Chain A
Amino acid sequence: MRVRAKIHAMPPLTSALRVRWPSVVPQYPRKWVCPSCLTWSQRLHTESIQTSNQSAPPAKQPRSSKSTAKGSKDNSKGSKWEVTVGLEIHAQLNAPRKLFSYAATSFNAPPNSRVAPFDASIPGIQPKLNIPTIVPAIRAAVAFDCRINRRSTFDRKHYFYKDQPNGYQITQFYHPFASDGKVVLNELDGLDQSEVIEIGIKQVQMEQDTAKSIFQPATEDTPARTLVDLNRAGSALVEIITTPSLKSSKHAAACLKKIQSILRASTAAIDGMEKGGVRCDVNVSIQERGLPGLGRRVEIKNLNSVKAVQESIEAEIKRQIAVRENGGEIEGETRGWDAVKGESRKLRGKEGEVDYRYKPDAELPPLIIEESLVNHIKSTLPPLPDQILTELMNEPFALTLKDARTMVDLDDGARVNYYKDIYKDLSGRPDFKSGSKHLGKLIGNWTLHELGGRLASSFIVWLDNPVTTTQMADLLFNLQNGTLTAGNAKRVLDHLVPFNDSNIRVADLIEEYDLATRSMSEEDDEGLIKLANSIIAEYPDKAEQVRSGKKPNLRNFFIGNLMKATGGKVDVQACKQVIEKIFSA
């Protein structure tokens, strides 16, 4: 447990730094379309293009967590040991500049090219809070339903390490800017249907990131050495501390995923764990069921994937139970996780514990966050994952949880906008025929599976999606009113994807390739009946088997042949009707 002494330090003599809306924050005109309009940064645009090349496998994780959930259940529910887990999550804020210097934040810049004198701890250079960095931080806190503390202060946390050029990290230990929030986990997060748990967020604090140290093995010319890249040093992080209230590794994993998705949806932090944008420490303790209080906690540091979090917690629970059941005591200690070996090892025990000597930073004035700014951020907060999922799963969209999840999780939810734009377009057309298919589901199917599948097999990332929402809406419009058969609609899509031309009109394609379904006027109907009769006449045996009721399924054979004979221009329903009509006559 962290014990925090109340500090009533003498306030710095100079005045506090006040931030209020609209004096410091440029208003961003549209929610959620481009998360970086707020921050004038080019980074989000360019980098997301680079990174989405590794097109993420769709929603694999829930399944893998199911298999391990059993294991943890054995540990938590069945046994006499009660497990308690708390998370400390560090997320890189979506801010164009560092927390206390003007240097730009970066990931791929050449080493030591994004370094202001303060980041390199040049003597005589002082920190200066970059006010725009607090905006994404407040967004995160608001998204976690935190109380925003009007006055917060900055503290120094001391420890020596190569990647810590100042010898301390500036953080918010005594008076964080946000506290008492929560994260709700429910079936949307892979919990059982009736299960809803609320995990407290103790506090959210702003702090500096460290530099990166890179070990370089010895070569012919140089001895083994460690190189330090200061590009990351001083970048803005939020640390999110949950209460120790998670009862299993499964819940911890779900909570971590939920926190990541909220951070992403609120545009507070864009990069997830897979890109090193989020790192996690966990605290694990066990206690005999029924006994008050918590057992001694063990901290596992620097976990960089949900899998590592879940596995390390499971391994730690097993280790602690084994120690306790052999009559041993749990030592308060810090451990590191070896993902390859699947085991943790002790980094330092209680005697080696670092005393961080937290101390208020004497020259950074207290930060005063005015309510007007908080209200502004609240009112412009993009919808959060649960809201979007629930919306997508209800009428008029009525997507399955799986499809809704996929839309929300992939490419920062870009498909959701695409999907909704098509829905809006179609349902707004006065001559639109809704047809027999459910429109919400239909668009979902065509966006995720038909278009998504074609993009994936052509190695096109979503951000480069060549099909405009208008083209897609036109296509579905013609599908729903019967002009295109499903097969021909797919053919149109096959054409649109590689040609990558927003000027191509679906109507022109239909005309050019003569894809329109024959209109169902009287004469055409007669022509179709004629054609059907001639086909039936070609296969008398088979026709007989249908008539006698021996093999009624052979009707499909005739329907297929009839479609073939029309060149696919008559849709399957019409062909079916005609064949049925002939046989039932």
Chain B
Amino acid sequence: MAAKPILPEALNCLRTIYQRNRHLNAFVCISPEQELKERALAASRRHDTGTPLSPLDGTTFAVKDNICTKDMTTSCSSSMLADFKPEYDSTVVTMLKNSGAIIVGKTNMDEFGMGSYSTTGFHGPVKNPYSPNTSDYSAGGSSGGSAAAVAANLCFGALGSDTGGSVRLPASYCGVVGFKPSYGLLSRRGLVAYANSLDTIGIFTRDVRSAQLVFDCLNQHDPADPSSLDDYLRRKIKKQAIASRPAANRNPVWRIGVPIDYNVAEVSNTLKASWVSVLAALRDLGHCIKPIEIPSTRHAVSSYYMIALAEASSNLAKYDGIEFGPSTITASKPDGSIPPSLHSIAVAREKGFGKEVRRRILLGNYSLTSEAMENYFIHAQKVRRLIKEDFDRVFAAPNPLNSSLKQRSSDDDGIDFLLSPVSISSAPSLSDVVIADGTGVGGYINDVFTVPASMAGLPAISVPVHGNGDLPMGLQITAQYGDEGRLFDIATLVESLSEVGT
């Protein structure tokens, strides 16, 4: 077997980045060439001696700029953290490095992950590699840089973060695989918090099997993350997965749910056509397609924004210009509208945060005030619980996190997966995004498909389908909590169907 050309591949990545990143704006920080060479050399030596650290040894990775990397600025695309050089690697980055992966750089994003088009950051917008020559299209957000980097072959894979769709949406716009695991499986230590009950580390690759490799490498309990799933529950999930495996010699028959609540009017015709053709192909293969109702998802987006923004207002309270943020020494004198002790903090937050972030913090803070709390935040929490219960009702597999395992009345009622689009259309052009930006919260409609899985903490994957147009689109498959193994199986199948279709 010929030795893997690791060093040439890594150097090729770097060359491509130098060539294309000026236009794409996917990377905001690139690793020093010397360091990259050394790591690639070490990896290829390990491969030569037959002792690779893992299947990922020597592969190149990009990391979203809200995931802490030692000695590399982690700005979250915010001038608030423009100078933030963490003294530690986030757990997922440490795991990647320990598997031999080579970090090539940090990727552009929406400021603090707040946006759907990677346009709100202070590094400027990310451009979709599939943009036609005539105009620039959005790479999607908030992990747009990571999606674009993988799509443009600037690296083997990338890490992103998904709060309400921030991995799946850019993956669908850029035509790559974007995977959001179950909440609590991948460590969030080192992920700068946006909405910490929703934030999940996500994975970008060009095919489903690679995503699974990366996931397997990162899927470990982390004692430093209080929300990381403990080993007891991990064993429980494993047992459940083994129990639900079909016998070795039989092809599984999957029950695939089509959420009719998701069939919103805004979904583009080409996307609908792709959705239907994949469903038809699955049916032809003997799988069972069932329409299902998840009524609570109608309120998912509004509840999601309530919760996410409330948490964001809290998580971003630490950026007060004292430890982080722009210097306010030269700030104007207080004008009396706020107490002098808060003046410098107000100035720092005004200067350090962009418009979208300020808007979201303001909304989030309002929903937590004593007058609004009951109507908004608590109400949204109730909706969130309903969403989770709705999902538990439709899935055949029980949710391993429920302590009391409610026996389903009949196993036939349940489904194994949900199949839906990721977004309402393919990527919009950046000029359209600017127009949509002016309409305030109207742009939030795009999250309608991705938010329910985030609210319930479920694993979901975006698999690219190439419609008739030039721009790629994605279909989303959602599974029960912890059911990653089977999710990758069906995603591989859907991936092969869409390849045949194009």
**Bound-state Cα–Cα, A30 to B204, Å:** 58
Within 8 Å of chain A (Cβ to Cβ): is B422? no
Asked whether, in the complex, the Cβ of B342 is within 8 Å of the Cβ of A160, the reply is yes
Q: Which of B188, B317, B382 contacts A166 (CB 8 A)?
A: B317
Q: A7-B381, A13-B401, A165-B322 are in contact. Are A124 and B191 (CB under 8 A)?
A: yes
Q: With a CB–CB cut-off of 8 A, which chain B residues contact A124?
A: 67-68, 74, 86, 88, 90, 188-193
Q: Which of A3, A9, A128, A162 contacts B226 (CB 8 A)?
A: A128
User: Could you mark each residue 182-203 of chain B with 1 if its beta carbon is under 8 Å from any beta carbon of chain A, else 0?
Assistant: 0110001111110111000000
Within 8 Å of chain B (Cβ to Cβ): is A355? yes
A235, chain B: closest CB distance, angstroms: 18
Q: Which of B184, B192, B226, B370 contacts A127 (CB 8 A)?
A: B226
Instruction: Please name the residue on chain B nearest to A364 by beta carbon.
Output: B226
**Bound-state Cα–Cα, A359 to B339, Å:** 24
Asked whether, in the complex, the Cβ of A13 is within 8 Å of the Cβ of B226, the reply is no
Q: A13-B184, A123-B81, A355-B370 are in contact. Are A128 and B224 (CB under 8 A)?
A: yes
Spot the interface stretch: B227-235, B245-253, B352-360, B432-440. Answer: B227-235
User: Could you mark each residue 159-191 of chain B with 1 if its beta carbon is under 8 Å from any beta carbon of chain A, else 0?
Assistant: 000000000000000000000000110001111
**Bound-state Cα–Cα, A2 to B429, Å:** 51
Spot the interface stretch: A114-122, A248-256, A407-415. Answer: A114-122
Asked whether, in the complex, the Cβ of B225 is within 8 Å of the Cβ of A126, the reply is yes
Within 8 Å of chain B (Cβ to Cβ): is A129? yes
Q: A7-B381, A10-B384, A121-B323 are in contact. Are A359 and B314 (CB under 8 A)?
A: yes
Asked whether, in the complex, the Cβ of B68 is within 8 Å of the Cβ of A362, the reply is no
Q: A10-B385, A13-B227, A14-B229 are in contact. Are A5 and B317 (CB under 8 A)?
A: no
A335, chain B: closest CB distance, angstroms: 15
Q: With a CB–CB cut-off of 8 A, which chain A residues contact B341?
A: 161-162
Instruction: Please name the residue on chain B nearest to A9 by beta carbon.
Output: B381
Q: With a CB–CB cut-off of 8 A, which chain A residues contact B190?
A: 124-125
**Bound-state Cα–Cα, A8 to B228, Å:** 22
The number of chain B residues with a CB under 8 A from chain A is 63
Spot the interface stretch: B7-15, B43-51, B372-380. Answer: B372-380
Asked whether, in the complex, the Cβ of A117 is within 8 Å of the Cβ of B88, the reply is yes
Instruction: Please name the residue on chain B nearest to A355 by beta carbon.
Output: B369
Within 8 Å of chain B (Cβ to Cβ): is A563? no
Within 8 Å of chain B (Cβ to Cβ): is A289? no
Asked whether, in the complex, the Cβ of A125 is within 8 Å of the Cβ of B226, the reply is no
**Bound-state Cα–Cα, A113 to B143, Å:** 37
Instruction: Please name the residue on chain B nearest to A230 by beta carbon.
Output: B323
Q: Which of B86, B368, B370, B381 contacts A122 (CB 8 A)?
A: B86
The number of chain A residues with a CB under 8 A from chain B is 40
User: Could you mark each residue 122-160 of chain A with 1 if its beta carbon is under 8 Å from any beta carbon of chain B, else 0?
Assistant: 111111110000000000000000000000000010101
Asked whether, in the complex, the Cβ of A363 is within 8 Å of the Cβ of B232, the reply is no
Q: A126-B226, A165-B322, A165-B323 are in contact. Are A13 and B314 (CB under 8 A)?
A: no
Interface residues of B in 332-356 (CB under 8 A from A): 339, 341-342, 345
Task: Select the residue from A8, A160, A364 with max chain B CB neighbours within 10 A.
Answer: A160
User: Could you mark each residue 78-98 of chain B with 1 if its beta carbon is under 8 Å from any beta carbon of chain A, else 0?
Assistant: 000100101110100000000
Q: With a CB–CB cut-off of 8 A, which chain A residues contact B374?
A: 5
A274, chain B: closest CB distance, angstroms: 28
Q: With a CB–CB cut-off of 8 A, which chain A residues contact B233?
A: 14-15
**Bound-state Cα–Cα, A13 to B403, Å:** 11
A366, chain B: closest CB distance, angstroms: 11
Interface residues of A in 342-378 (CB under 8 A from B): 352, 355, 357-359, 362-365
Instruction: Please name the residue on chain A nearest to B227 by beta carbon.
Output: A363
**Bound-state Cα–Cα, A362 to B225, Å:** 12
**Bound-state Cα–Cα, A121 to B81, Å:** 13
Q: With a CB–CB cut-off of 8 A, which chain B residues contact A362?
A: 195-197, 311
A164, chain B: closest CB distance, angstroms: 9
B214, chain A: closest CB distance, angstroms: 20
B383, chain A: closest CB distance, angstroms: 9
**Bound-state Cα–Cα, A167 to B457, Å:** 27
Asked whether, in the complex, the Cβ of A13 is within 8 Å of the Cβ of B365, the reply is no
**Bound-state Cα–Cα, A66 to B235, Å:** 66
**Bound-state Cα–Cα, A358 to B193, Å:** 18
Instruction: Please name the residue on chain A nearest to B89 by beta carbon.
Output: A124
Q: A124-B90, A355-B369 are in contact. Are A15 and B230 (CB under 8 A)?
A: yes
Q: Which of B67, B188, B232 contacts A126 (CB 8 A)?
A: B188
Q: With a CB–CB cut-off of 8 A, which chain B residues contact A13?
A: 183-184, 227, 229, 401, 457, 481
B221, chain A: closest CB distance, angstroms: 10
**Bound-state Cα–Cα, A274 to B401, Å:** 49
B313, chain A: closest CB distance, angstroms: 8
Instruction: Please name the residue on chain B nearest to A6 by beta carbon.
Output: B378
Instruction: Please name the residue on chain A nearest to B222 by beta carbon.
Output: A126
Within 8 Å of chain A (Cβ to Cβ): is B72? no
Within 8 Å of chain A (Cβ to Cβ): is B320? yes
Asked whether, in the complex, the Cβ of A365 is within 8 Å of the Cβ of B226, the reply is yes
Q: A13-B184, A15-B232, A161-B341 are in contact. Are A125 and B370 (CB under 8 A)?
A: no
With A126-B225, A160-B342 already in contact, 15 other A-B pairs whose C-beta atoms are closer than 8 Å: A5-B373, A9-B381, A10-B381, A13-B227, A13-B457, A117-B87, A122-B87, A123-B318, A124-B88, A124-B90, A124-B191, A160-B317, A161-B341, A167-B314, A359-B368
- B: residues with CB less than 8 A from A are 67-68, 74, 76, 81, 84, 86-88, 90, 183-184, 188-193, 195-197, 223-230, 232-233, 310-311, 313-314, 316-320, 322-324, 339, 341-342, 345, 365, 368-370, 373-374, 377-378, 381-382, 384-385, 388, 401, 457, 481
- A: residues with CB less than 8 A from B are 3, 5, 7-10, 12-15, 117, 120-129, 156, 158, 160-162, 165-168, 228, 352, 355, 357-359, 362-365
Interchain Cβ contacts under 8 Å between A and B, 14 examples: A5-B374, A126-B189, A158-B368, A160-B317, A162-B341, A165-B318, A165-B323, A352-B339, A357-B369, A359-B311, A359-B377, A363-B225, A363-B226, A364-B226
